[in-house]
């Protein structure tokens, strides 16, 4: 009796307990979150790290834009982004990289002035455990990541547009190159040559270097236009310089009759506004904010992955945005430096 009684009590207690557990357990399950196992390590990997940035110079739309964009992406994770500004001096740049190697930041973003100068230094930096991200201008050393425009493609697409426009016209074109020492200029010229090889009827009446200088570009273009008033197109190598090219075309009263192709970072005042005004007919933009995001993305990936610097190597060529009359007025084709800095 006692046994059966106690047995029933036990059962009761158990049932009660089970019910209680069930009743209590369900809300507990709903309130308790699941730990995402990787984010903690990611945050830890990034926090307190330093990313150094060595452009050829600050104070122009491309380099200011990259800096602002990378900072915006990385600073919220506690990454310190520092800049070393060589102000167009290759020597000062090499010195900055050398000093940085001993300071051991997590990554260095490098904007090469040419293909040779930093090559050895970059290799040394990766051997010392620093990720090297190269932007827009690669060196002969292939590092963990390259983010940037494909200059050959820019030359080809700019020239194709000119060739198209020239169909049925004089077929005379001019080329306004950048600085002879700059690889970006030489690569772009290669792209131009690729297209010209396929179009033997196109005649290049002038191919001169204007040193990225708007005043020089204007002087050259003026002389060329006086000599060849039936010119049908000009391939320029940078919109910051070709503002001079366009001014010469405008002064000759040939806007609309001479096609002007160029390329640049897509800053609103330097690109969209000038396409809208008719100064440029095509401005291929390598959209600086996107490049900045991609660089920051690469850094996030590399730093969190923990791969040995230099053991993986890859490229991220920028998808170009062709800015023409059709999209120049849109809000998305171009960007504002002041907005990016906010």
Q: Point out which residues bind other proteins (CB under 8 A).
A: 57, 59-61, 64, 87-88, 180, 205-209, 211, 213-215, 218-220, 222-224, 226-227, 240, 243-244, 247, 250-251, 269-270, 337-338
Cβ at position 115, least distance to other proteins in Å: 19
Q: Which is nearer to other proteins, 223 or 315 (CB)?
A: 223
Helix, strand, coil percentages in the chain from 3-state DSSP, rounded to 5:
50, 20, 35
Q: Which is nearer to other proteins, 64 or 287 (CB)?
A: 64
Q: Which is nearer to other proteins, 45 or 205 (CB)?
A: 205
C-beta neighbour count of 83 within 10 angstroms: 18
Q: Which is nearer to other proteins, 149 or 209 (CB)?
A: 209
Cβ at position 297, least distance to other proteins in Å: 26
Cβ at position 28, least distance to other proteins in Å: 57
Order of strands, sheet of 203-209, starting from the edge strand that comes earlier in the sequence: 203-209, 172-177, 233-236, 259-264, 282-285, 321-323
Write out the two tokens for 134: 């190269």
* C-alpha neighbours within 13 Å on the C-beta side of residue 46: 22
The residues, ordered by sequence, that sit 6+ positions from 141 with a Cβ below 8 Å of its Cβ are 118, 119, 120, 122, 123
Cβ at position 67, least distance to other proteins in Å: 12
**Three-state DSSP class for 207?**
strand
Q: Which is nearer to other proteins, 77 or 212 (CB)?
A: 212
Q: Which is nearer to other proteins, 164 or 223 (CB)?
A: 223
Closest CA to 150 of 287, 320, 289, 290: 320
- For 250-273, the DSSP string reads HHTT-BTTBEEEEEE--BTTTTHH
Cβ at position 284, least distance to other proteins in Å: 19
Cβ at position 237, least distance to other proteins in Å: 13
152: phi then psi, degrees, rounded to nearest 5: -60, -45
């Amino acid at each position: 009796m006692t046994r059966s009684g106690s047995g029933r009590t036990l059962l009761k207690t158990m049932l009660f307990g089970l019910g209680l557990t069930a009743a209590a357990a369900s809300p507990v399950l709903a309130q308790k979150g699941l730990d995402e196992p990787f984010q903690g390590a990611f945050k830890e990997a990034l926090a307190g790290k330093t990313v150094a940035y060595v452009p050829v110079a600050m104070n122009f739309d491309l380099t200011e834009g990259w800096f602002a964009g990378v900072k915006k992406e990385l600073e919220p994770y506690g990454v310190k982004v520092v800049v070393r500004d060589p102000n167009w001096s290759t020597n000062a740049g090499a010195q900055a990289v050398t000093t940085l190697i001993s300071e051991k930041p997590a990554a260095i973003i490098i904007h090469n002035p040419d293909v040779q100068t930093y090559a050895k230094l970059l290799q040394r930096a990766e051997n010392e455990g620093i990720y090297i991200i190269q932007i827009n201008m690669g060196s002969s050393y292939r590092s963990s990541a390259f983010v940037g425009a494909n200059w050959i493609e820019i030359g080809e697409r700019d020239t194709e547009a000119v060739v198209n426009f020239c169909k049925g016209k004089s077929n005379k074109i001019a080329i306004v190159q950048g600085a002879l020492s700059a690889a970006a200029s030489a690569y772009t010229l290669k792209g131009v040559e690729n297209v010209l090889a396929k179009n033997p009827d196109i005649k290049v009446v002038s191919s001169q270097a204007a040193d990225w200088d708007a005043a020089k570009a204007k002087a050259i273009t003026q002389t060329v236009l006086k000599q060849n008033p039936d010119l049908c197109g000009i391939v320029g190598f940078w919109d910051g310089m070709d503002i001079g090219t366009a001014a010469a075309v405008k002064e000759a009263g040939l806007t609309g009759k001479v096609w002007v192709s160029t390329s640049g970072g897509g800053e609103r005042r330097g690109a969209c506004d000038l396409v809208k005004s008719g100064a440029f007919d095509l401005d291929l933009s390598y959209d600086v904010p996107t490049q900045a995001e991609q660089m920051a993305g690469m850094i996030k990936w590399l730093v969190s992955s923990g791969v040995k610097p230099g053991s993986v190597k890859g490229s991220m060529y920028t998808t170009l945005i062709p800015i023409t009359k059709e999209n120049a007025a849109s809000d998305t084709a171009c960007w504002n430096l002041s907005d990016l800095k906010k």
